[in-house]
Structure 1
């Protein structure tokens, strides 16, 4: 069971990249962190790396697939039994919703023009990036409410800014912060997938580059605002960590993972009474 003075955090998909670095930085700040990964072997390997940094006493590994509701429920039960409360949730799990064509995968190098999108990949992307984060928040709200300083940090992207969505109907819904609901976000995603399957992304004003990824992050940003309004005692924000060298962009970013993780960690460690329901690009406040 939790010690009253200790703080506990969860970081999803944290066996590498920004997620791993968020774990390292939070643990270095004295927080007990639950490092999660879909693949148990990779998660345990990540834990071993932290042992070399003498941080393993601050980190616990647990297998978690955010696209699987049963996996999330099992994980929530583990937190309740093991720690009794949760202070920080970092929703970091995310996929690009694209794949590289065979020539690129064979070694021709990372080329944005060679990325392949289809409706199946788009659905998987929305399920992981948006619905995974939403399920995590909904399932863990009860243990977060036991904290004296609950924090939710949603890792987003500048690609999710509403300026990238030219569809007036969808943009209008997502901009209307006062009247946003989960059901309205669901409807936007349903129409996006329908238009994707019909091949009408361009005609209907949806993003055409990393389409599902961009829309999933716009949905996540909207959900951040919904949650912040619903739980005013929480500090809930979303953040674009910047262009970080990670697998999702073929390591073409300009920031290191250490630099990229610093802004989510800043939001996770904000003092009580700090702003909530906002979008940050790195450490700067941004419009949605």
Structure 2
């Protein structure tokens, strides 16, 4: 279902943003719309998504339309693609932002969190959060389903529309936790970094192998991240980085990049980050709006190209 506030968008660039109802995603929608881009704000929850679009309209950003999207459901992605095709006939920018952390933090809410974190730098804040977090197999499975497969489902559904653009852009929001240094096995690192031979089918298989090894307690022996928290999150983001590089190789006419927006204060980390959502979104928008002919198939650490290892 859509909520249409768009006015005369025919000559403007069109963007889809997943997970656009709050946090970094909402700020990406705001910043793109403020730069004259027509934005399709997507979210799984219709009430929250519609309200987010309404707030942007109230702030003077009329070229925003809400459409419901569950990234983990291919049929939902297909319905979004049909809507974009019928309304705009093309898509210039896709920002895959929706994601989950794959863990639960046990936090005493009787004291304000910021009081607990006062005086701690970003590294200490993250360490504190890690020490209070646990993850289960079910959370790991959900993390791969939303972060990796969700990114893939939405991209596959919208790819023909991106190809219909004169300058299609795909930005996959990843994380520095997706860097290959977190993997314990050299063979896996090398395979994920060998983009000439790596395939999307192999990434799909890796996701299944990881979950099987997670269930059977064989993560370290098989080379996965294993010595800290957010194990599924790290694997999901590493797979996203690999997927990004494969897509850039397979579709050279598009600009396809992944990026880490920084450790931002959002719901996903209980506002423990060091940057604001606005600052994180600014880096994403910068990558999305790079000049024509810019880099493709690379990983950005905020605004700078960085290695994936």
TM-score range, shorter chain: over 0.9
SS in 2 for 1:178: coil
Contact 1:170–1:188 at 8 Å: present in 2 too? no
Structure 1 position 88 matched with structure 2 position 93: yes
Cα deviation for residue 204 of structure 1 reads 3.4
Q: How far apart, in 2, do the equivalents of 1:68 and 1:91 lie? A: 14
Structure 1 position 241 matched with structure 2 position 261: yes
Q: 2:301 aligns with which of 276, 281, 286?
A: 281
SS in 2 for 1:154: strand
Structure 1, 74-83 or 213-222: larger mean CA deviation: 74-83
Structure 2 residue aligned with 1:184: 202
Gaps spanning 5+ residues in structure 1: where? none
Contact 2:20–2:26 at 8 Å: present in 1 too? yes
Contact 1:35–1:59 at 8 Å: present in 2 too? yes
Q: How far apart, in 1, do the equivalents of 2:175 and 2:36 lie? A: 28
Residues 223-248 of structure 1 deviation map (CA, whole Å, 9 limit, x = unaligned): 00000001101001000000100111
Structure 1 residue aligned with 2:245: 225
Structure 1 residue aligned with 2:65: 60
Q: How far apart, in 1, do the equivalents of 2:305 and 2:145 lie? A: 27
Listed as ranges, the matches of 1:21-40 within 5 Å are: 21-40=27-46
Q: CA RMSD in A?
A: 1.7
Contact 2:175–2:237 at 8 Å: present in 1 too? yes
Structure 1 residue aligned with 2:75: 70
Structure 2 residue aligned with 1:46: 52
Cα deviation for residue 285 of structure 1 reads 0.8
Q: How far apart, in 2, do the equivalents of 1:171 and 1:48 lie? A: 45
Contact 1:97–1:125 at 8 Å: present in 2 too? yes
Structure 1 position 119 matched with structure 2 position 119: no
Seen in structure 2, the aligned counterparts of structure 1 residues 3 and 20 have a Cα distance that, compared at 3 Å, is closer
Residues 164-217 of structure 1 deviation map (CA, whole Å, 9 limit, x = unaligned): 111223212101111111012122222211110012323434223200001000
Cα deviation for residue 32 of structure 1 reads 0.3
Structure 2 residue aligned with 1:267: 287
Cα deviation for residue 5 of structure 1 reads 2.1
Q: What is the TM-score with the length of structure 1 in the denominator? A: 0.95
Structure 1 residue aligned with 2:178: 160
Residues 72-99 of structure 1 deviation map (CA, whole Å, 9 limit, x = unaligned): 1111111111111100000001000112
Q: How far apart, in 1, do the equivalents of 2:247 and 2:171 lie? A: 11
Contact 1:156–1:221 at 8 Å: present in 2 too? yes
Seen in structure 2, the aligned counterparts of structure 1 residues 49 and 3 have a Cα distance that, compared at 3 Å, is closer
Contact 1:90–1:152 at 8 Å: present in 2 too? yes
SS in 2 for 1:144: helix
Gaps spanning 5+ residues in structure 2: where? 1-5, 114-127
Q: How far apart, in 2, do the equivalents of 1:107 and 1:180 lie? A: 49
Equivalent pairs counted in the alignment come to 285
Seen in structure 2, the aligned counterparts of structure 1 residues 44 and 4 have a Cα distance that, compared at 3 Å, is closer
Q: What is the TM-score with the length of structure 2 in the denominator? A: 0.88
